[in-house]
């Protein structure tokens, strides 16, 4: 058992609680000030990411993306049967590449975070819309080898999703 020297004052729990309460009262304006000063900086970073994504889309003339994951058998299926039939104006983006620092695609990661992959993402000037196509492709994902019939079904599913999310279809006539 430690013996406390008599010259050191003891602080009761009530007094300690009062001191902590006063410290919080005195420091709360400092916390509010920090929040007020950092909010514009965070908004600026979000706005820069917003502009980088729109600039990337404008520069590459790609406004629609297929965001897919490499997990659970999707990688080979997407590489062999989905990527060859992607319509013009649509690009394939892997979900693991979205969070790369400095990437203009970071804005997309928040749009697809709650979506089940793969999903179609359409970028407009003021909005990013995402719609999952997982339910339409999950029964076919085990067909990992190149298959013309699977590609035809995927092309049809992508066309329907583009009509749903974009309101129009931008590809030429299907072969």
pLDDT at 2: 67
State the burial class of residue 94 (Cβ atoms within 10 Å of its Cβ: 0-12, 13-18, 19+): middle
Check residue 125 and report its DSSP letter.
S
* Euclidean distance between CA atoms 6 and 123, whole angstroms: 71
The whole-model pTM stands at: 0.64
Task: Please give the average per-residue pLDDT across 140-157, as a whole number.
Answer: 75
**What is the pLDDT at residue 40?**
93
Task: Give the model confidence (pLDDT) of 77-110 as tens digits.
Answer: 788 878 788 878 788 887 766 666 667 777 777 7
Spell out the domain ranges in the chain.
Answer: 53-166
């Amino acid at each position: 058992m430690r013996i406390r020297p008599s010259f050191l004052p003891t602080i009761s729990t009530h007094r300690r609680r009062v001191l902590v309460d006063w410290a919080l009262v005195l420091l709360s304006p400092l916390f509010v000030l920090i929040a007020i000063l950092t909010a514009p900086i965070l908004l600026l970073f979000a706005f820069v990411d917003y502009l980088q994504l729109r600039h990337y889309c404008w520069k590459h003339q790609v406004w629609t993306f297929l965001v897919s994951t490499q997990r659970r058998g999707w990688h080979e299926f997407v590489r062999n049967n989905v990527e060859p039939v992607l319509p013009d104006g649509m690009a394939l983006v892997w979900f693991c590449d979205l969070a790369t620092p400095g990437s203009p695609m970071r804005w997309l990661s928040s749009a697809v975070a709650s979506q089940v992959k793969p999903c179609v993402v359409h970028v407009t000037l003021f909005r990013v819309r995402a719609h999952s196509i997982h339910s339409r492709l999950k029964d076919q994902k085990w067909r990992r080898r190149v298959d013309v019939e699977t590609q035809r079904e995927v092309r049809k599913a992508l066309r329907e999703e583009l009509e749903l999310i974009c309101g129009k279809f931008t590809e030429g006539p299907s072969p």
